[in-house]
Amino acid sequence: MEQVKATHPDTPLILYVNSSAGILELMAQSGVDIISVDWTVDMAVARQRLGASIGVQGNLDPCVLFGSKELIRDRIFDTMHKAGNQGHILNLGHGVLQNTPEENVAFFFETVKQSNYLLNDSN
């Protein structure tokens, strides 16, 4: 991390370790800018353990995309609320599962894009 930051100081570094619930604090000490949190860690707990000074990425359970649009929307807003209003990249934690309905993937992206506009307008 130090070598990359020395030669590319403006490049944001993201660290993802699968099943990392037990080492979040160690990950934060690595020098990265953003910790990618998998879906097994509650985002509120991750944010509390990592603090507000480091960005977080994630962490909607990919199985949610098999649910109703209402469930998808509710989980998106819940995750965003738990992550806080800064330093958060919302995504699946991690990846779209095989046989996920394409219309639900599209709904996920559209809802996230629209919610970013709503959040920015309310601040």
Token pair listed for 94: 């991690």
Sheet holding 55-57, edge to edge: 14-16, 34-36, 55-57, 88-89
Q: Which domain holds residue 54?
A: 2-122
> Quick one: pLDDT at residue 85?
79
> Quick one: pLDDT at residue 27?
95
> Quick one: pLDDT at residue 101?
98
The reported pTM is 0.84
pLDDT tens digits, 33-50: 999 998 999 999 999 999
Which residue did the predictor score with more confidence, 107 or 85? Answer: 107
119, 85 Cβ separation under 8 angstroms: yes
Q: Which residues contact 105 (CB under 8 A, 6 or more apart)?
A: 65, 96
Confidence band, pLDDT 50/70/90 cuts, at residue 116: low
Confidence band, pLDDT 50/70/90 cuts, at residue 110: very high
In the chain, the number of structural domains is 1
pLDDT tens digits, 40-76: 999 999 999 999 899 999 889 999 999 999 999 999 9
